[in-house]
Amino acid sequence: MNVTLRQLSYFVALAEERHFGRAAERVHVTQPALSTQVRELEERLGSALVDRSDRSFRLTPAGDEVLASARRIMGEVERMETAARWQDGLSGRLKLGMIPTVAPYLLPRALDLIRARAASLDLRLREARTEPLLDALADGALDAAVMALPSGRPGLVEAPLFSDRFVLAAGRDQVEDMRATGAAPRPGELDMSRLLLLDEGHCLADQALEVCGTSRVATRVDLAASSLPTLCGLVGAGYGQTLLPEIAVSTEAAASPQLAMIRFAEPQPARMVGLVRRDLGGPDGWFTDLAAILAEAGTAQCERAARAVG
């Protein structure tokens, strides 16, 4: 029996996860099935790849060599599959990830454009925070992802989509008081004790602190269902202030009538939202086409917000 790509992919997952259960979950099989394939690989190669002499997970010297070779082989196979799959441009199945502070605001308009321009595209969407999306890109579980740039990971192609400015969101009475002073707020002058942020792991919280020029910990909303709509609801109820990305303004303003926004003084803080994929070479017309659609949708949503905030 020859070595199979399945065996190599299971072994790579096991080596990277360092745990049979997690590796099986990653490749969507049962743990016994994964163990069987790894043992068959060892038998075919005539050498133990995993040291099973104690409870700690270790590869044998042979396992280290096979892992390096398996990664090269799997990488070449994926490049071949990617090149073949995207010969016809933006069609077929596309696995797209998107961060939660962009997805609900960009997707409605973007999906309309995709239906109109790429009707044959089978789009599979995943909403997750930045780090899980980057991991999924690295594993090949996603073809591309929408997130704030730069991604901070090597080996990626990044296409800027649109600039998403931040506005200060607060209760309507608070914003009216700020407008009455005639001076636009400045991020560095905000009262950090009143600034509400999403819980740990959301890139938007880190971006807000960076915009404010501080590493001090603001008041974080630590809820099991922590999300931007939840945060805006609390802010609208008068529990503090937050930095709201422009793409979310029209949706959140409609959902929370007591929420109001005011622009910062120039230069207005912003994040760059972009489309990211692995640098696998081959045709990338699909990536360019998708980026153009998402850029159009995001720009239109931000322009709508610009009219609302003024």
Both 106 and 79 in one domain: the answer is no
Q: What value does the CA radius of gyration of the chain take, rounded to a whole number of Å?
A: 24
- Residues forming a β-bridge with 124: 95
Single out the residue in 54, 85, 116 at which a domain terminates: 85
Q: Domain containing 56 — which CATH number?
A: 1.10.10.10
Do residues 9 and 126 share a domain? no
What residue numbers bound the domain in which 194 lies? 91-310
17-63 pLDDT tens trace: 889 999 999 888 999 999 999 999 999 999 999 988 877 888 999 99
Q: What is the phi/psi pair of residue 192, to 5°?
A: -65, -25
On whether both 70 and 107 belong to a single domain, the answer is no
CATH code: domain of residue 189 = 3.40.190.290
Cα–Cα nearest to 203, from 131, 139, 136, 153: 131
Q: Output the six-digit token pair for 101.
A: 């502070």
- 213/277 same-domain check: yes
- Alpha-helical runs (H) found in 86-189: 103-117, 130-139, 172-181
Q: Which of 85, 115, 134 is the last residue of a domain?
A: 85
- Both 109 and 250 in one domain: the answer is yes
Please check whether residues 30 and 132 belong to one and the same domain. no
The predicted-structure confidence for 151-170, as pLDDT tens digits, reads as follows: 988 889 999 999 999 999 98
The torsion defined by the Cα of 241, 242, 247 and 250, in degrees rounded to 10, comes to -20
* Residue 220 and residue 93 in contact, taking contact as beta carbons nearer than 8 Å: no
Helix (H, G, I), strand (E, B) or coil at 98: strand
Do 158 and 183 lie in one domain? The reply is yes
Q: What is the pLDDT of residue 194?
A: 81
- Output the CA angle 119-120-124, nearest 5 degrees: 100
Q: For 91-106, what is the mean pLDDT?
A: 90
> Residue 201 pLDDT more than 70?
no
Q: Which tokens in the block code for residue 118?
A: 């790429």
Residues 268 and 292 both lie in one domain: yes
pLDDT of residue 228: 87
Tell me, yes or no, whether 47 and 137 share the same domain.
no
Give the Cα-Cα-Cα angle 156, 71, 69 (nearest 5 degrees): 140
Q: How does the average pLDDT of the chain come out, rounded?
A: 85
User: Is residue 274 over pLDDT 90?
Assistant: yes
Kindly report, residue by residue over 101-137, the tens digit of the pLDDT: 999 999 999 999 998 988 888 899 999 999 999 988 8
- What's the number of domains the chain is made of? 2
Q: Are residues 70 and 129 in the same domain?
A: no
Residue 87's pLDDT band (boundaries 50, 70, 90)? low
For 38-78, the DSSP string reads HHHHHHHHTS--EE-SSSS-EE-HHHHHHHHHHHHHHHHHH
Could you tell me if 171 and 265 lie in one domain?
yes
Which pLDDT score, from 0 to 100, does residue 223 have?
39
* Last residue of one domain, picked from the residues 57, 85, 113: 85
State the pLDDT at residue 159.
95
